[in-house]
Structure 1
């Protein structure tokens, strides 16, 4: 059963200025590496739909959607904050980025695919119920998780987040929801610096020091993530796949390499095979060193597809 690779041309129309690291070239870097590796021939490509407003409203407030719509520029840029900026195409891109997760959940729960990778931008895991931040406008993974719970009637959805930054928006949306278990590691003392203390019971937040190496992070996954995931026995696993923890990426100072992203993905896929019928949907989050991003995404997708 092929892995679904879902994206949309509109995701490359959103841009925040030539200086900004969260740029359209990120998707080109992934696609080029998939072609060069030959892996693209083994994926089932699809175009993302537009997320319905009702799907966005499961995790975002109506006021948030209204604010973004009312401030979307017809030309030029509108800054939400210094790093999170709208151009005339931003909301179109954000709507299909969120829609990709809806389509991917339908595909894996419907049985046409076992795993899926959403090659979309803008990313999502910093977007809070009523706030765009950290390059994120809609929380793509959270939209998909809420849709899986409410529309497909699931009882247990696991979220794994290995971005170098904490997925604060996702945490805000699901903290205390016993239908969701979120496991993450992230570099301590960098953006956004808002992980909850004490940690909610359905969250496994592991802040790690700068320059933590891949072998140490593999131990975190083995010792702290996997026992909780096995006990939770998810029916679906969603991944916030941020590749900015790569040692070549200046956005953080972790020491991960492609083999580490592959290994983490293999552990998650194996767990999903035991409890969730192998159903895993992954979402692109961070990753800004373009060569490292492309190589790491290929390693991740290869592991998703068990190739």
Structure 2
């Protein structure tokens, strides 16, 4: 099985301050763990291209794109930041990094649909699932998975795609982008009540939202996935699956208060792959979202990739 691994050095140049948990160190920790785990040479490394504004415009408003493009500080002001909200800001390299992050997801989609690889993982930042069509928020600039999914539907002609989101936070931006779109089924679990405090009030019929309380462990999450995600996915019969792969529900991650471990992420990945084998010709594109404890993040990504690449 061939798994493409998309990343780019530009994604390490976007930063929001030395204090900020969504830091370039996240990607470096993943790179280091891939080497330490001796699987880096078994992946098909690919350089993420830049998304075009046409790619972004399938999801985001012109004003949302303009606000990020035009408000990045000059590269002469390398250590300056432009605040979008209390915890999301732009530096001189954010525009470039954001284009790479979305571009990786689009390129991975094409590679999978063209049969070059069976699946792909995009080790990119900024993350995306909080970015709504009209607003960057929650560390996210553009919604990478939504941009790729729109590309699959509107350019590549797929009729049914599924989005799986296992970040500790609800993917409010992705839900807003696809609410009531009968071509899309989104399944997710998320800690509740917790940022962004969405996902529980009248979700659309194409959303399977599973709010779980703090301190929930893997056995609880596995049961909920078995009872709710998997039947919905099988009924929907997706032609391709996109994953918003956040690893901040890990028990070592202080960003949330859940109790997952690497084995849980491996199990979730195996279940998604089974659905993809049944209905989607094994086609999966996974994009990094959250995960802020560097060791737990890196170990969890390796567990996820080992299953995707059939390296267990």
Q: Same fold (TM over 0.5)?
A: yes
1:156 aligns with 2:167: no
For residues 124 and 90 of structure 1, what CA distance do their matches in structure 2 show? 13
1:195 aligns with 2:199: yes
Q: 2:143 aligns with which of 139, 145, 150?
A: 139
1:125-274 alignment to 2 at 5 Å? Answer: 125-195=129-199, 197-274=201-278
SS of aligned partner of 1:80: strand
1:51 aligns with 2:29: no
Q: Give unpaired runs (5+ residues) of structure 2.
A: none
- Compute the RMSD of aligned alpha carbons: 0.7
1:32 aligns with 2:36: no
1:8-19 alignment to 2 at 5 Å? Answer: 8-19=8-19
SS of aligned partner of 1:194: coil
**C-alpha deviation, 1:70, in angstroms:** 2.2
SS of aligned partner of 1:237: strand
For residues 71 and 23 of structure 1, what CA distance do their matches in structure 2 show? 20
TM score, norm. by length of structure 1? 0.99
TM score, norm. by length of structure 2? 0.97
For residues 256 and 172 of structure 1, what CA distance do their matches in structure 2 show? 27
* Structure 1 partner of 2:65: 65
1:102-159 CA deviation, whole Å, 9 max, x = no partner?
Answer: 1000010000000100000000000001100000000000000000001110000000
* Structure 2 partner of 1:276: 280
**C-alpha deviation, 1:198, in angstroms:** 1.2
1:90 aligns with 2:94: yes
Q: Give unpaired runs (5+ residues) of structure 1.
A: none
**C-alpha deviation, 1:196, in angstroms:** 5.1
1:17-72 CA deviation, whole Å, 9 max, x = no partner?
Answer: 00000000000111111111111111000000000111100000011111222211
**C-alpha deviation, 1:271, in angstroms:** 0.6
* Structure 2 partner of 1:124: 128
SS of aligned partner of 1:184: strand
1:113 aligns with 2:117: yes
Q: Which aligned runs of 4 or more in structure 1 are off by greater than 2 angstroms?
A: none
